[in-house]
Structure formats: structure tokens, C-alpha cells
Structure 1
Amino acid sequence: MPLFSRPDGDLVRGEAPVRRIMPYLMRGRNESCVYQESVYRIAAARTWLKAYNRAHHPRATLFHLVAYATAVALETRPRLNRFVSGGRLYQRRGVSISFVAKKVFTDDGPDVTVKLACPKGEGFPDFSRRISTRVDEARDKDCAVDKEVALIMRLPGPLVRGLVALARGLDHWNLFPGFMIRDDPMYSTVFLANLGSVGVSDVFHHLYEYGTVSIFGAVSAPRRAVFATRDGVTSEEALSVRWTFDERIDDAFSCARSMVLVQKILEDPARWLGPPEGTPVWRGLEAGPRES
């Protein structure tokens, strides 16, 4: 039992002993990694987004739809919205997504990291609009985290190492202040990297030991892929997302089932979000058409 509660999560109780001991057997996230590649058909998503962008502003992108589908999956399957800290398992309070955007699309262009809270039941138009707004704001001015890091990096190296060690220690004992966690992109449910947009594909990404991010999704560039069908094989435009999971938060079977929700939305957004010309919103499995 921890001495102090956390500002961003609640202690998970009642888990099986085997799962409770995992954080002690595998102390770091990167020795607890499980990797999964998901390849999604995106022809329907392309058509849906084209119609959506004719009826809505600002323009939504395929990455917006991937991020929204991921947020829906995490909200629908809350066991995946967990993290390990101080050898204990916590249920996160709310879904949040972090991602990196380029300020300028050049080799030397600086990166900005954005953390976006995902309210339960939010429609896709509001979600997409908030992503666009946050990215524009981050490109126009430095965010609070960037300013804090820039200030810290003015200090001598040994002092920087001491501050980082202090932050890790406070976090381990649940004493890291909530106002420091709130906007820190390393304290989110999932980190998505749109690597395909900068010409990098087919990579798995590590998890960060600092913070509480338990899932990383590396989004590749769209390309043709071969799929098996009842009539043989077909070549279609596809999107690959390579996921990295912290095995300690949930078992592989549950993680795989959760990611199926991402596939459902990306491969048939009209079915699960509704007509693109309206106000698309996740209708839930129980509200949608019966499974075939």
C-alpha cells in the first residue's frame, strides 16, 4: 500500500498475484515490451475523410482519424489505460495522447511535443479541431514544457542529472506535483509518432522510462499491401502502425482485442462514426449494426 496517492491515477486493487508481481520481476518498461504490427486497409477512410473535409473546417487528416480511433479504443477498454509506477499498477484518470509535430518541415526544423486530453464521448469534429488548434499554437509559440526544459538545460550537467533523479524519486513515491504532470507529454496514455510524414517507416519505438506512457504507436507512411480474402488475395492501400506495449499493464490477449477497435474505425468509419457530412461520433459496439 503506497503512503501517498497519485494526482493522475488510482491504485488498481484485486489483480491476480502473478500480475501484481510483474513490476518487481520486470522493473523497467523496455524490459517489459511487447510488440505488435497492425496493418489497416484505408480505402474507406480516404473516401470518408474526403467527404468530411468538404463539409468541415479545419481539414482532418488520416493521422487525426488514427488518433481518434486510438482514443476511442482506450476509453472503451480501460484496462489498457494503466501504468506502472513505484512497482504498483495504477488506473489512469482519463485518456490522453501525446505526439510530435514539426515546426518547419526541414532537416533542422525543431520538433514540438503536444499532449491532448481526450474527453469521453467527444465527437470526431471537435477532436480533430482541437488537434489542429494545439499544433498551430505549438508551432507559433513555445509550450510551457519546452520553456521549462530550455531553462533546465542552462544548468551544468551534474545539476541536470540531479534534478532528473529528484523528479524520478518524487514520482516513485507519488510526490511529483500534479501541475508538473498535467502538461507533461511523458505522462499520457499513449504516444503516437507520425513517422511516415517525415519519411520514416517500418520501425518499432521504445517506451520512455521517464513518465508513465505505457503504449507507443509508430505510424508508417501509407502504401500498397496484400490482404487475403475469400476469393484469393488483393492489393490495397494500407497503413501500418507498429505498437509497443508495457506487458505489465494488461495481458497480450486483452491488448490485441482492444486494438481491434482501432481497426474497425479505420477500415469502416461510416459504420462506426456515421456519415462524414454530419457530426461523426463513436456510436459504440452495442449501438452499431450487428456483427456479421
Structure 2
Amino acid sequence: MRCDGKKLKKVDPMYRIVPHIMVERHDSMNMITLNLPMEPMQRYIRGKAAEGITVSHMALILAAYLRTLAEFPALNRFIGNRKVYAHKDITVSLVVLKANSMEDETMSKIRFEAEDTIFDVQKKILHYIDENRKYSTENSTDKMIDTLTRIPGLLRVAVGFLRFLDRHGWLPKKIVELSPFHASLLITNLASIRTNHIYHHVYDFGTTSVSMALGNQREVPRRTASGEIVFDRCLPVGLVMDERIAAGSYFARAFHVFKRYIKNPALLEEPPKEVKIDE
């Protein structure tokens, strides 16, 4: 029995077959760009700043994703050994630069609750960044990797063994808790290093089925009702999904709702009225 997920029983027969056809996560990657409108995000962030409350773009985006997850729980699924599981919790792997560095980065996880508000998300992100940007120290994930690389030949053997354990759901809970590859979502902000968005792969190792990569803002053309072409300032997000966990129409509906929360961040100030359970 996996420590990080529960095997789902009420799964469409098609999704019991698909993992046997597309065995690896890289076989089943679907990719799309989401253009998130900057104006409603900026307006909300400025309004909160006037009240003395700090809200970052990252907090807003993650809060919107958590709220979407509460309505579309299949986003929190993963495939393990060709079976469909639901994560037992909600964790996000976040890549951050260490202090005083534009090259040295680290990645670890933040744990969230489906009931978290945008203010809860902001607090957790700030705590995470403070802990992981200590230039002179390593986080727990860095230390685990450093240990594996100290002994010649150990890394290849250890990683092979870990992959075997992971495939069968036998990884110890302590390793799963440290591993950034075992998460509900991977997100990285490439705009922080002045880079365009990319489609960040979802790793074959681990349990992460969705990745987001934020890039430099850009102008996106839109035709108005009168036929006029206008340009909206947008934040592009490269979204990669493991299509074995849900239908394309499910993803489409989920991210339509996600964009609705991006356009109306005030909806994220209170906990969700309902959190749907994946069975």
C-alpha cells in the first residue's frame, strides 16, 4: 500500500487501460499555453497593498489552482505501476533561487490544504522561500542528494533502487516527504530570471502529473465584440498534463474555472464551500 496515495476504485474503464498503453509519464504529456490576464491580478494586488496586505502573483496563481482542485479533484491523481491513485495530500514543488544567486537554485515542497485561502497560501510561500533561500545552508532535499553523490557508484545504484521501490509503491514515507518529484504540482517562475515560459516536463519518477512554468509577460491580441483588435497584457503559463489521469474535456473545464478565479481573486479570500473527494 502506498504511503502517498489511495488506489481509486471508481475509475472509467478507459483510464484503467490507458496506463498499459502509455506506460511512462513522458508518453502521455499534453501541453498548452494559458494566457492569464494581468489587469485583474494587478488590480487586486494593488488593492491589497493599499490595505497593508501583501499578495504575490505566485500566491494568487497557487490559490486559484487549489480552489480549482477542490472542484476538480482528478487533477490530484497520479499513475503508479499502471494504476490510478489519488494523492493523500496536496503538495507543490516550487523552484526558487537561493539568496544572492542567479544560478544556484533549489527545489522542495510546500504542503497545502484544499481549504486554504489566498492569505494562507501567501504565508506558506513566504515561509518556504525564507527557509530555502538561506545561501549558506542546504534544505533537506539538497542534503539527501548530496549524500547520494558522495560515494562513487552509489548514485546510480541508489536511484535504480529508488525507482524500483517507487514503481511498486514501497518508497519509505520519509523519502516521499523529501522528494520534490512526489507532488501534486510542479511550478517554476521563469519570469524571475527574465525568461519566456516553457513546457516543463513531468518526471517519469515520482507522482507529479501537472507542471506549470510561468514566463515573461507579453501582449496577446483579442477581438472585441465590435470587431476591434485589442492587446491584453498577459502572463503566459506553459501547462503540461499527464493525460492518463483525466479526459481532455475535464482538463479544459478545470482550467476554464482556474482562469475565472484568476480574473476574480476576491473569491479566494474565503475557504471553498465544498471540497469534492476523488473516489
Question: 1:252 is matched with which residue: 244, 248, 254?
Answer: 248
Report the equivalent of 1:264.
260
Contact 1:84 1:248 in 2 (8 A): yes
- Per-residue deviation, 1:282: 4.9
Per-residue displacement from partner, 1:46-104 (whole Å, max 9, x unpaired)?
A: 011111123345x3211221121112212221011100111111011122111101013
- Tell me whether 1:111 sits opposite 2:100 in the alignment: no
Report the equivalent of 1:93.
88
- Per-residue deviation, 1:135: 0.5
Report the equivalent of 1:152.
148
- Tell me whether 1:18 sits opposite 2:14 in the alignment: yes
- Structure 2-normalised TM-score? 0.92
- Tell me whether 1:281 sits opposite 2:270 in the alignment: yes
Report the equivalent of 1:49.
45
Question: 1:183 is matched with which residue: 178, 182, 189?
Answer: 178
User: Structure 1 residues 106 and 182, CA, compared in 2 at 3 Å: closer, same or farther?
Assistant: closer
- Tell me whether 1:67 sits opposite 2:67 in the alignment: no
Report the equivalent of 2:188.
193
- Per-residue deviation, 1:9: 0.7
Q: Distance in 1 between matches of 2:248 and 2:4?
A: 24
Contact 1:34 1:245 in 2 (8 A): yes
Q: Structure 1: which 4+ aligned runs deviate by more than 4 Å?
A: 282-285
* Structure 1 residues without counterparts, runs of 5 or longer: 274-279, 286-292
Report the equivalent of 2:120.
126
- Per-residue deviation, 1:173: 1.5
Contact 1:114 1:135 in 2 (8 A): no
- Structure 1-normalised TM-score? 0.88
- Per-residue deviation, 1:218: 1.1
Any residues of structure 2 matched to 1:24-39 within 5 Å, and which? 24-39=20-35
- Per-residue deviation, 1:228: 2.4
Q: Give SS of 2:25's match.
A: coil
Would you say how many aligned residue pairs link Structure 1 and Structure 2? 272
RMSD of aligned alpha carbons = 1.8
